[in-house]
Chains A and B, each alone.
Chain A
Amino acid sequence: MIPAPSDVLLAALSGISSGELVNYVAISILRVAKGFLLASVAGVSAGLAVGWSPTVRAMVDPFLSFLRQIPPVAWIPVFIMWFGIGEGSKVMVIAYAAFFPVFLNTETSVSQVCDTFLELGRVYRFTKAQMLTRVILPGSLGPVFAGLRLGLSASWRALVAAEMLASASGLGYMIVISRELVRPDVMFVGIVVVGLFGYLVDVGAIRLQRTVAPWSWQVRE
């Protein structure tokens, strides 16, 4: 049964005035921020290292490819065991989900530099350092940004799942608990807010990418 939009709106307003909705949103956003930051740092560093060095890639790639197949949610019980029922386990699940898009996009941007630019560098005798500073690093801005955007979406999805399964706060929790309390209006407030925030963040990220790497907008997307 889908509740009437007016009911959802009323529930939302009630949640805002009581402070509960705002509180849950803040908690969720904070978790995403922590997890995404962790994943970005790890993903970009690992992507650069693996993309740059074939030896590192040979060592690390098979293991990461294996890990990638495991959905983030499957790790929740393990992370609770390792990091406890508190924030740590949620943040780790989010970081895990965001890591792979960031890592993969960064890695390919370094290891698969356009052939045409490699040839350009050969004819014009770019040194290895010049190849790095003129071609590889600036060239990876676009793909890394795209990876970060995908990572952010993955973070948000993982957050909701983690909160639904293992949390007593946040938007995911709100959706789950409203089923037990038989409050479909609150459930849909949760769903709409999750979708809205995800959308707004993505729009903001696209804007940022267009500012930071305007050429990549033309080329990649």
Chain B
Amino acid sequence: MSAGVGLLVENVVKQFAGDSGALLVLDHLSLCCRPGEFVSILGPSGAGKTTLLRLIAGLDTVDSGRIAYTDNSLNEVDPSSVRIGMVFQEPRLLPWASVAANIRYGLQDRAAQMSKSEQEYAVAELIERTGLSGFESYLPHQISGGMAQRAALARALVGDPNLLLLDEPLGSLDIKNRLAIQDLLANVVCAGGSAAPTCVMVTHSVDEALYLSDRVYVLSERPAAVIAEVDVPVARPRDRASTGFFEAKRQILSALGVSSSP
């Protein structure tokens, strides 16, 4: 398992040119992740959560502020040495490649160090862990949206990333699959402390954020800034029914402006 990389987002400002002038999406937003941490980002729709994730992935550039990857001692790390696995809101599987091939394309530079059979083994292992056994040779248009999203997650994990970026990855899954994949993510995170990948997940679900995260950032409406940073000090492995989530949930709900009184 690859060591997670630390993430530093400092005073990031991002705007887009709109029809009626510039649209400010991120307003001096700051957050950080320690190596191996699992951080969730909660916020209203349109707040800019996807934009933030894209900036972290390097798909777009900030207008001001900075984003940097760091090591354990907070020294900046060369971005090209950071392996990123990303799950977009839509699966983005290549329509002409089989499920197994699509997953294999996530190997990145790892592929160069692996023999063909090692690659096949890595892909097969992830296919099993994401519950896609039997569908290896299916094309994306032959599987359901939920299965496609699971394949996208398998693709993100197969490369053994230092940084895992998840943009509402479980949105199109039914509850049973959602819980199963949450457990898969929890296992990926638990497996090695700071040797696990750093995960940044955008989600709408407070319960999901609580179950998986070490820390939750709550964003305001657009233009987005951080309005709350909530720790989730519950030991792993976690029980969804644990009362340890209560205080963190109360803080999150109150930050979101939702009353939590019974």
The closest CB in chain B to the CB of A137 belongs to: B96
Q: Are B105 and A134 in contact (CB under 8 A)?
A: yes
A138-B96, A141-B96, A214-B141 are contacts. A123–B90 as well, Cβ < 8 Å? no
Q: Are B140 and A124 in contact (CB under 8 A)?
A: no
B185 to chain A, nearest CB (A): 18
Q: Are A116 and B94 in contact (CB under 8 A)?
A: no
Residues of A within 8 A of B59 (CB): 119, 122-123
What is the count of residue pairs linking A and B with beta-carbon distances less than 8 angstroms? 53
User: In whole angstroms, what is the CA distance A135 to B105 when docked?
Assistant: 11
Partner of A215, one of B88, B90, B95, B155: B95
Residues of B within 8 A of A141 (CB): 96
Q: Are B96 and A116 in contact (CB under 8 A)?
A: no
User: In whole angstroms, what is the CA distance A214 to B142 when docked?
Assistant: 10
B104 to chain A, nearest CB (A): 10
Q: Are B106 and A124 in contact (CB under 8 A)?
A: yes
B92 at the interface (CB under 8 A from A): yes
Residues of A within 8 A of B159 (CB): 124
Q: Are A123 and B57 in contact (CB under 8 A)?
A: yes
Overall SS of chain A's interface = helix
Q: Are A215 and B106 in contact (CB under 8 A)?
A: no
Q: Which of A213, A218, A219 has the most CB of B within 10 A?
A: A218
0/1 interface trace, chain B 118-162, chain A, CB 8 Å (1 if under) = 000000000000000000000111000000000000010001000
Partner of A139, one of B57, B90, B96, B105: B96
Chain A interfacial residues counted at CB < 8 A: 22
Q: Which of B105, B106, B140 has the most CB of A within 10 A?
A: B105
User: In whole angstroms, what is the CA distance A218 to B90 when docked?
Assistant: 17
Residues of B within 8 A of A219 (CB): 95, 141
Q: Are A123 and B105 in contact (CB under 8 A)?
A: no
Residues of A within 8 A of B109 (CB): 125
Q: Are B141 and A135 in contact (CB under 8 A)?
A: no
User: In whole angstroms, what is the CA distance A125 to B49 when docked?
Assistant: 23
0/1 interface trace, chain A 112-123, chain B, CB 8 Å (1 if under) = 000011011011
User: In whole angstroms, what is the CA distance A134 to B108 when docked?
Assistant: 13
Q: Are B96 and A124 in contact (CB under 8 A)?
A: no
A214-B141, A218-B141 are contacts. A123–B96 as well, Cβ < 8 Å? no
B196 at the interface (CB under 8 A from A): no
A116-B90, A135-B94 are contacts. A126–B139 as well, Cβ < 8 Å? no
User: In whole angstroms, what is the CA distance A35 to B97 when docked?
Assistant: 33
0/1 interface trace, chain B 168-210, chain A, CB 8 Å (1 if under) = 0000000000000000000000000000000000000000000
Q: Are A126 and B92 in contact (CB under 8 A)?
A: no
The closest CB in chain B to the CB of A119 belongs to: B59
Residues of A within 8 A of B57 (CB): 123
Partner of A116, one of B92, B108, B139, B155: B92
User: In whole angstroms, what is the CA distance A135 to B159 when docked?
Assistant: 19
B84 at the interface (CB under 8 A from A): yes
Residues of B within 8 A of A215 (CB): 95-96, 139-141
User: In whole angstroms, what is the CA distance A216 to B141 when docked?
Assistant: 10
B237 at the interface (CB under 8 A from A): no
Residues of B within 8 A of A124 (CB): 86, 105-106, 108, 155, 159
Q: Which of B59, B86, B94, B159 has the most CB of A within 10 A?
A: B94
New contact pairs (7) apart from A139-B95, A215-B96, CB-CB < 8 Å: A117-B92, A123-B59, A125-B83, A135-B94, A215-B95, A215-B139, A219-B141
5 pairs of A and B residues whose beta carbons are closest in the complex: A215-B95, A138-B96, A123-B86, A218-B141, A125-B108
Contacts A/B (CB < 8 Å), 24 sampled? A116-B88, A116-B90, A116-B92, A117-B92, A119-B92, A120-B92, A122-B58, A124-B105, A124-B108, A125-B109, A126-B105, A134-B94, A138-B96, A138-B97, A139-B94, A139-B95, A214-B139, A214-B141, A215-B139, A215-B140, A215-B141, A216-B95, A219-B95, A219-B141
Chain B contact residues, CB within 8 Å of chain A: 57-59, 83-84, 86, 88, 90, 92, 94-97, 105-106, 108-109, 139-141, 155, 159
Chain A contact residues, CB within 8 Å of chain B: 116-117, 119-120, 122-126, 130, 134-135, 138-139, 141-142, 213-216, 218-219
